[in-house]
Every structure is written in C-alpha cells, then in structure tokens.
Amino acid sequence: MPDTFQNLFGPIDCSSKNQSKKTMKKFSILKCKILGWVILGFILFLPGTLTAQSVHLVAGTVMSQYDYVSSDGDRFDNFKKGSGTYYRMGVDFKILDTLTLLTSTSPKAFYYSNHKTLANFLSRLNVETGIETSQLNAVGDILGVAFNYQTNFLGINVGLGYSQSIFKGWSIKGSGKIQGMKIIQGNQELLGTYRDLTLDPDFNKIQTALGWELSLSKQVNPGLVSFVSFSKSNTMNAVKAGASSLNFNNTMFSIGVKFISK
C-alpha cells in the first residue's frame, strides 16, 4: 500500500492527525459493524417460510474511493476515484406471500386476515441474497509520479428491502445491505513496476461492508421486471494504533432484470 511510497519518496505530509477525529471514526465504524451483524442475524434467523419471488441479474459501473490511513496514523489523500464494472446475480424472497394466504385455512392465514395492515406491510418486505463481482480501482499521483490500482473482488451480499407501487406497473424500492468480499486479482502499478495486491494484507483480508440501494422498476409482463438502481457501500475496517487500514467507499449505478417465479 502507500507505505511503498514512503519507502520510495520518504515521509509523506498527510492530514488528519487529530486524535479526537480518529477516536470518533473508530466509534463510528464499531457502531456500523454492530448494526451490520444485527441486520445479518435478523435476516438469517427469519422464519423458514420465505417464498421465492424472483431471480435477478444486474450489470453496472462502480466508482470507488480508497480511504487509507498509514501505520503512523496519517491519512493518504493522493488517491483519486477509479471506475470499474459491477455484476450481481441473486434471489429475492417475500417475507409474506398474501396470495398464498388467500387460499389457506391455517391459523397463520386467519391471523393475517384479521391484521390486514400488518399483512400489507410484510408483503412489501423481501430478503435479498446474491453473488457479486466488483472492480474497485483507483488512480493518483505523488510528487509527479502516477500510480494505478486495478482489482477484482468476489463477494456475497444479503439485504432487506421494502417496495412500493407508484403507477401502472412502476414501483420504487429501498434496501439495506451487508456485504462480504474477497480480492481475487489485483495489481499496483508504480514507476513502471507491478505489485500483486492479493499478497497485500490491506487488500487480501475479507472485506465487510454496509450499504443501501434505491431502485426504480417497471413490470414488463407477469414474469419479467426491468429496473435501474443506485447504491452506496462502505467497508468497515477499523483504524487501529500502529497498524494501517484501508477502506473502500463505493458508488454503483446499474441496470437489471428480474425473472418472477410463477
């Protein structure tokens, strides 16, 4: 990581040496981690009555910003945003399928028939899970020398979403997500040489991220939905005294299709 630059150019004059800011950042990351694991636990331990709703395929662009703090506590500000491709394939599950309840005489169906507001709310919630690939790239320069980071990550994501119909087959949806990803390929280019980032401890750990997504969709026919989405995610690697840390702040623009199960 940028410690390589220190070896080549000497100490780097960086900002963010205010200890109180570091403490607040550590506390913020800790809160995000706790919230993320609570959300994941809630999703994983939902009742086993979820009904498959759709399979989705997504393709788009991800813009990533590297947030690096050296082992001396200095923030490296020479990174510029990079862009890469983003692909995802996943499945959505309804928490409550009201159509199935209409044809059922179970105690559960009877309960929700007497609590229609709750049933309507739960029918709009769904659990999402999928596999994704992301190119988290960055560029920059220091003392007139350009550098370049190119990476490929493979990961999984789990989320909880709420959808709302708005007009003639159009709907909007908001989701909260937790992600886990691992680098599968990456190179640092500096001074005409390349370095394998899969061997770098700041890159090769499992990265955990929290994020959200907003999407606008249109039902094309009973079995097909098209949509566009905008999402953001941030990894949650804590800043620790005497150790470097790297976080990825990502913004995704994507389009996709959903194949609805009959």
| Residue ranges of domains in the chain | 3-260
Pick one of 3.40.50.300, 1.20.1730.10, 2.40.160.20, 2.120.10.30 as the CATH number of 3-260. 2.40.160.20
Q: How far is residue 113's CA from residue 121's CA, in Å, rounded to a whole number?
A: 13
pLDDT per residue of the chain (262 residues) written in tens, 0 to 9: 665 555 544 444 444 444 444 444 444 555 455 555 545 554 444 444 455 578 999 999 999 999 998 888 888 888 999 999 999 999 998 887 666 665 666 676 667 677 778 877 887 888 999 999 999 999 999 888 999 999 999 999 999 999 999 988 899 999 999 999 999 999 999 888 999 999 998 999 999 999 999 999 999 998 899 999 999 999 988 877 778 889 999 999 999 999 987 5
Q: What is the pLDDT of residue 197?
A: 93
Amino acid at 178: I
b/e sequence 108-121, b meaning 16+ C-beta within 10 Å: eeeebeeeeeebee
Contact criterion met (CB below 8 Å) for 139 and 148: yes
Q: What is the pLDDT of residue 14?
A: 46
Sign of CA dihedral 198, 177, 97, 106: positive
Q: Which of 169, 155, 179, 142 shows the shortest CA–CA distance to 4?
A: 142
- Cβ-based neighbour number of residue 3 at 10 Å: 15
pTM for the whole structure: 0.78
Sign of CA dihedral 101, 106, 110, 111: negative
Contact criterion met (CB below 8 Å) for 142 and 105: no
Contact criterion met (CB below 8 Å) for 187 and 199: no
